[in-house]
Amino acid sequence: MPVLYMLHGYPGHPAALMRWMAPMLDTAFERGAAPFIVAVPDGNSTAHSDTEWADSVDGRTLVESSLIRRILPAVEGPTPRSAGMRAIGGFSIGGYGAMNLGLRHPDLFGQVVSVSGYFRVDDTSGMFAKHRAAIAANTPDTMVRAASGRRFLLIESKNESEPLIAGQAADFAGRLRSCHCAGDVELRMERGDHNVDFVGAQTPAIVAFLDAGWRRPVQ
């Protein structure tokens, strides 16, 4: 089956995210959507509280490396998925992380979902230590050309009050469309608040988007 790697927000934890998503996933699958695996890794660290789902410059927090080198193989085992059978998504900082990792590793993820995400560095814990090269390498706003052939779903609440996030989905969708490089870009502005309940409410839309884009290998 295809796999969606779903990244939680900050402060956040996998169990809190899945509490709201799991019932909606069950309903969507019961109604006919092709089932897929949802893996929700833990992106927390004791060295840097706000990890940005990245590797820190000081080497003390290696969330990106852990996800790519350890978690993907652990989830997929002896049948590693192609990019067309693998998606990455996230909420809030996880939305940033999903977009950042999706663009940094276009060979791994064919679809990217950002729910209430942002697309420039907000490094409150010194992950990138103000290093220009590290910041540039983790800024989705300037990486849209890496979107070639990939599918993107951006969801934001109409009631979004976080200055870092408000208006970001529409702006980034515009960047993706202007570069004429993404395979498909869907923007959804929905009612809700900045919380995991909003992610649960948007899960049917996430399932429908992914269901239309999985590229299963020819048997």
Topology at the third CATH level for domain 3-213? Rossmann fold (3.40.50)
Beta bridge partners of 3: 37, 86
Q: Where are the domains of the chain?
A: 3-213
For residue 78, cis peptide bond before it (omega within 30 degrees of 0): no
Reported as a single tens digit per residue, the pLDDT across 133-170 is: 999 999 999 999 999 999 999 999 999 999 999 999 99
Q: Which helix (H) or strand (E) holds 206?
A: helix 196-213
pLDDT at 219: 46
The pLDDT value given to residue 215: 85
Looking at residue 181, what is its pLDDT? 86
Which pTM does this prediction carry?
0.96
Could you give the CA distance from residue 92 to residue 134 in angstroms, rounded to a whole number? Answer: 21
The pLDDT assigned to 217 comes to: 62
SS3 helix, strand, coil % of the chain, rounded to 5? 40, 15, 45
Q: Pinpoint the alpha helices (H) of 51-195.
A: 63-66, 72-76, 93-104, 132-136, 168-178
Please list the ranges in the chain whose pLDDT falls under 70.
216-219
- What dihedral do alpha carbons 25, 87, 188, 158 form, nearest 10°? 80
- One-letter amino acid at 19 equals R
